């Protein structure tokens, strides 16, 4: 990196990855709140307008006015070169703050270990400044939040669970349904039509549920997919199939 | 049930299933804390001595002295008849409180939707008293807490996840490793020797991690299983295999 790093004698700040949950500001943990409120700098992914994005929106009611908000450009793209550049730039920005002795909390929607940009940003920071103390704080993840919203178990007893990150080949779903009793499809919107048809053919529409924007004011729940043949869910949608239904 | 239920005119209490996380009392969510502290009655699984068990131990520092603690006999057995009897008895106990207009929080270690007794108890309550308002509050689950403790991602990008509840046939693990990039084995203790041998044969010991008693004062982390050939982990142990390693 081009910036000059401080000497080893400097006191580095700490980096925290705090999971803020998928939507409800009250799903932050007590530990997450304490760490969030103690930090000098709160870093977060920015939205397309360059403003602090969804994770910031979830926790902003908990922040102190004197905290520095640091939006980072971490675009939702698939190009590996563009992604690597974004992670490197974000890591350099964080290292600059850490090198000044500032503690930085990187907030991440959902859980910081589950398909989270924090993993890449933290690795970049570690490569640039290996002595930086990095701590991950777990939180509420969207599959479990969705099941709580539906008041249904994700899994029981001896059931196996398959989680698919996003579905590009519908044969993955068929395979997962052969192998496991519970299948979770993260961010299912882009393939919803194909998924619906597959579940229809397998006679599993009644055992499949959709939850949109879980925990936010826009939350919607569909406990069955039977009537959703022509539906287009929003980006933040999660789909859960339970081969053996169980409701209360 | 033999007890007389109140008439429909009575005001029933509400039932909450509150996820308290797998060990650290600070992993409770803000929502969980608020609901926990507002309740008249805090129900929890009891230990073998009939005392309030692990979930109670996690949250006891948050409770008010005037709250009623209601330990329930929910034994760790596999006999379906014995389990059904325990769920029914626990549900009847809760319904008696709810029928008196008391709000009851059932606390559950980890998350209430992930292999939790709360699912069975809540269903029993629903069958006995269908008008009771039941709400599930999500929380930190042990797989994500374990990865946070290790400071490693559970999943990244396009990786698929398989979660196995407890492993009785080691061929399940081999199959899961063929199908998914990440495999989580919940409560792995009873089959650890077989699992270790399988991972050894597949040359995956370095990519496998073990976390014991995550979040508690007894927490131990083994980022690799290479040196654990003859090890016997405790009951609360979770094992994670990542086919493609990623550390920082």
Q: What is the pLDDT of residues B116-156, one digit of tens each?
A: 999 999 999 999 999 999 999 999 999 999 999 999 999 99
A141 with B144: Cβ contact below 8 A: yes
Q: Are A214 and A145 in contact (CB under 8 A)?
A: yes
* Per-residue tokens: B84: 């059904």
The answer to whether ipTM exceeds 0.90 is yes
B238 pLDDT band, cuts 50/70/90, is very high
Give the span between the Cα atoms of A137 and A35, in whole angstroms: 9
A31 with B27: Cβ contact below 8 A: yes
Tell me the average pLDDT across A73-77. 90
Task: Compute the nearest-CA separation of B184 from chain A (Å).
Answer: 10
Q: Report the residue of chain A nearest B145, measured CA to CA.
A: A138
Q: What DSSP element (H or E) covers B80?
A: helix B80-99
B161 with A159: Cβ contact below 8 A: no
Please check whether the domain covering B15-137 is classified as CATH 3.50.50.60. Answer: no
* Per-residue tokens: B176: 């899961």
- Tell me, what's the pLDDT at A202? 95
Tell me the average pLDDT across A21-32. 98
Interface test with B, best of A132, A135, A153 (most B CBs within 10 A): A153
Whole-number Cα distances in Å, A134 to A37, A128, B108, B150, B214: 17, 13, 29, 11, 18
**Of residues A110, A244, A143, the one with CA closest to residue B163:** A143
B28 with A33: Cβ contact below 8 A: no
- Tell me, what's the pLDDT at A9? 45
B1 pLDDT band, cuts 50/70/90, is very low
Most distant pair of Cα atoms in chain A: their distance: 65
Q: Hey, what CATH topology would domain B142-242 get? A: 3.30.950
Tell me the average pLDDT across A63-69. 97
3-class DSSP assignment, residue A44: strand
DSSP state at residue B61: G
Q: Are B232 and B189 in contact (CB under 8 A)?
A: yes
**Residue-range domain boundaries for chain A:** 15-137, 142-242
Give the span between the Cα atoms of A22 and A215, in whole angstroms: 7
What percent of chain B has pLDDT above 70? 95
3-class DSSP assignment, residue B222: strand
A248 pLDDT band, cuts 50/70/90, is low
Give the span between the Cα atoms of B27 and B21, in whole angstroms: 6
Most distant pair of Cα atoms in chain B: their distance: 65
Whole-number Cα distances in Å, B193 to B170, B174, B196, B202: 10, 15, 5, 14
Q: Are A75 and A86 in contact (CB under 8 A)?
A: yes
Task: Compute the nearest-CA separation of B82 from chain A (Å).
Answer: 14
Whole-number Cα distances in Å, B236 to A12, B9, B63, B160, B239: 35, 45, 24, 24, 10
- Tell me, what's the pLDDT at A8? 47
With left for phi above 0 and alpha for psi between -120 and 50, is residue A167 left, alpha or beta?
beta
Q: Report the residue of chain A nearest B248, measured CA to CA.
A: A123
Helical packing angle, B80-99 and B117-128, nearest 10°: 60
Same CATH topology for A15-137 and A142-242: the answer is no
Give the number of A-B residue pairs with CB atoms closer than 8 Å: 179
Tell me the average pLDDT across A147-171. 91
Contacts of A189 (CB under 8 A, 6+ apart): A232, A233, A234, A235, A237
- Tell me, what's the pLDDT at B245? 76
Give the span between the Cα atoms of B26 and A129, in whole angstroms: 29
- Tell me, what's the pLDDT at B167? 65
- A6 or B166: which leads in pLDDT: B166
Beta bridge partners of A108: A19
DSSP states of B135-184: EEE----HHHHHHHHHT--SB-TT--EEEESS-SSTHHHHHHHHH-SEEE
Q: Are B106 and B118 in contact (CB under 8 A)?
A: yes
Give the span between the Cα atoms of B56 and B34, in whole angstroms: 16
């Amino acid at each position: 990196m081009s910036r000059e790093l401080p000497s080893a004698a400097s006191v580095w700040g700490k980096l925290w990855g705090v999971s803020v949950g998928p939507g409800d500001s009250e799903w932050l943990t007590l530990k997450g709140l304490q760490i969030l409120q103690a930090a000098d700098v709160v870093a977060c992914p920015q939205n397309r307008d360059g403003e602090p994005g969804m994770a910031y929106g979830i926790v902003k009611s908990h922040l102190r006015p004197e905290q520095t908000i640091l939006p980072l450009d971490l675009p939702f793209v698939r190009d590996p070169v563009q992604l690597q550049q974004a992670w490197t730039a974000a890591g350099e920005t964080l290292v600059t703050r850490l090198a000044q002795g500032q503690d930085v909390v990187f907030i991440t929607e959902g859980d910081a270990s589950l398909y989270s940009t924090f993993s890449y940003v933290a690795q970049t920071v570690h490569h640039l400044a290996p002595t930086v103390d990095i701590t991950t704080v777990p939180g509420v993840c969207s599959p479990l939040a969705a099941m709580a919203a539906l008041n249904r178990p994700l899994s029981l007893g001896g059931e196996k669970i398959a989680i698919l990150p996003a579905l590009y080949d519908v044969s993955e779903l068929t395979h997962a349904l052969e192998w496991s009793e519970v299948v979770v499809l993260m961010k299912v919107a882009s393939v919803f039509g194909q998924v619906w048809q597959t579940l229809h053919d397998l006679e599993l529409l009644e055992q499949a549920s959709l939850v949109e924007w879980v925990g936010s004011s826009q939350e919607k729940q569909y406990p069955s997919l039977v009537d959703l043949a022509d539906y287009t869910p929003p980006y933040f949608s999660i789909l859960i199939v339970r081969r053996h239904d169980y409701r209360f």
